[in-house]
Amino acid sequence: MDRIRIVGGNALNGIIPISGAKNAALPLMIASLLTSDTLTLENVPHLADVEGLIRILGNHGVDIAVNGRREHQDGSYSRTVHFTCRTVADTTAPYELVSKMRASFWVIGPLLAREGQARVSLPGGCAIGTRPVDLFIEGLTALGAEMEIDGGYINAKAPKGGLIGARYTFPKVSVGATHVMLMAASLANGTTVIGNAAREPEVVDLANCLIAMGAKISGAGTSTITIEGVPSLSGARHRVLPDRIETGTYAMAVAMTGGDVTLSGTDITLLDTAVEAIRRAGAEVSAVEGGIRVIGHGDQIRPVDIVTEPFPGFPTDLQAQFMGLMTRANGISHVTETIFENRFMHVQELARLGAKITLSGQTARIEGVTRLRGAPVMATDLRASVSLVIAGLAAEGETMVSRVYHLDRGFEWLEEKLTRCGAIVERISD
């Protein structure tokens, strides 16, 4: 099992290219099930989750061709991937596939809309929370689908003439359920109005792609989205938006270690709330041509309190990284998690590096320390794992991060990108 070795103490200086967003690429790939034409996606990141979904879509009959690798100066690249589903080969998404990647459950929307039926395994829980599927079931039921849970699977069936447009308001904001409703309603008969919809940039990216495919959607990026169903969708060419979580992660790494880094190929408007928090912590963050410039002052970090919220609030996917930054702040800060009920598993691992963190319910109290010291640590989930990398970059001595397969799910060429900016980071394969 691979590990990552980090020798801390070096400031970061240089350019880090930001990859396409994993959280946008996955629903965009699933949208290929909605059409018999080819959907071409540019800027697709090379990640374990993307490769896993490619295999899952192949099970449903999607033909996939990869080309257009464009080499970057640091060895990373963006890819162009062509997805073609002439006919759906199988409307069942089995447990052995869905259990490996929760987002694969989202195929239920396109399969139901295009084929009128779907049998999809319940995804179960995960390390950071249960994330139940009741919102998906209620939303698709509002479109006329018959939903039955049997033997760990959801058996879904559309009315004889297809799904029917409806007005539905989510009782709780859900990015995944909003993705599914967008895709399903695009081929429904009539107009669908989604209330309390997720407003994340990844939802807007999916809507823009669906519009390019011929869907009629308005209001994406607001809490009310209107979809006028169409009989069919065509192929399209779409570029995956930059990864705002990767952007924020590297910005926090610079803020913690010091240095001067340009994050290229990204957009500061994708993470206004996080940028403001990083600035309040003492780093300089500014928009420049083609990206964002971050200047850090590692020994002058100020304490900042944050609360995770749905977009445009502070992203839950940056909570662990920000907590890592706050471990070196000159004072006491508080991090409150409101999205997932079990997303503080990184706390004990940060403590191994010398962090002083106490938990009270969903709030962590972080007392900044003058220095962290390297130690063996273990990744518990995707975002927690990269918080340990950030802390390791600022710690004295050597930090060894194990179970880095979590990192491979969401960060493309992480070691290479950091090494190019002066960090001592290497992957060790046992």
109 and 235 housed in the same domain: yes
Structural domain boundaries enclosing 152: 22-239
98 is in an annotated binding site: no
What pLDDT is recorded for position 430?
A: 78
Contact in structure between 11 and 257 (CB atoms under 8 Å) = yes
173 is in an annotated binding site: yes
| pLDDT, average across residues 348-374 | 96
131 and 256 housed in the same domain: no
What pLDDT is recorded for position 116?
A: 98
202 and 328 housed in the same domain: no
Label residue 252 by pLDDT band (50, 70, 90). Answer: very high
What pLDDT is recorded for position 68?
A: 54
382 and 330 housed in the same domain: yes
403 is in an annotated binding site: no
Identify the CATH number of the domain in which residue 285 sits: 3.65.10.10
Task: Judge whether 126 counts as a catalytic residue.
Answer: yes
222 and 288 housed in the same domain: no
131 is in an annotated binding site: yes
362 and 375 housed in the same domain: yes
216 is in an annotated binding site: no
Q: Indicate the angle between helix axes 22-30 and 48-59, nearest 10 degrees.
A: 10
141 and 60 housed in the same domain: yes
339 is in an annotated binding site: yes
User: End of a domain among 190, 209, 239?
Assistant: 239
Look-up of token digits 């669908």:
192
pLDDT in tens, 137-160: 999 999 999 999 998 899 999 999
Q: What percent of the chain has pLDDT over 90?
A: 84
209 and 263 housed in the same domain: no
pLDDT in tens, 16-48: 999 999 999 999 999 999 999 999 999 999 998
102 is in an annotated binding site: yes
Label residue 406 by pLDDT band (50, 70, 90). Answer: confident
What is the spatial distance between Cα 262 and Cα 292, in angstroms, rounded to a whole number? Answer: 6
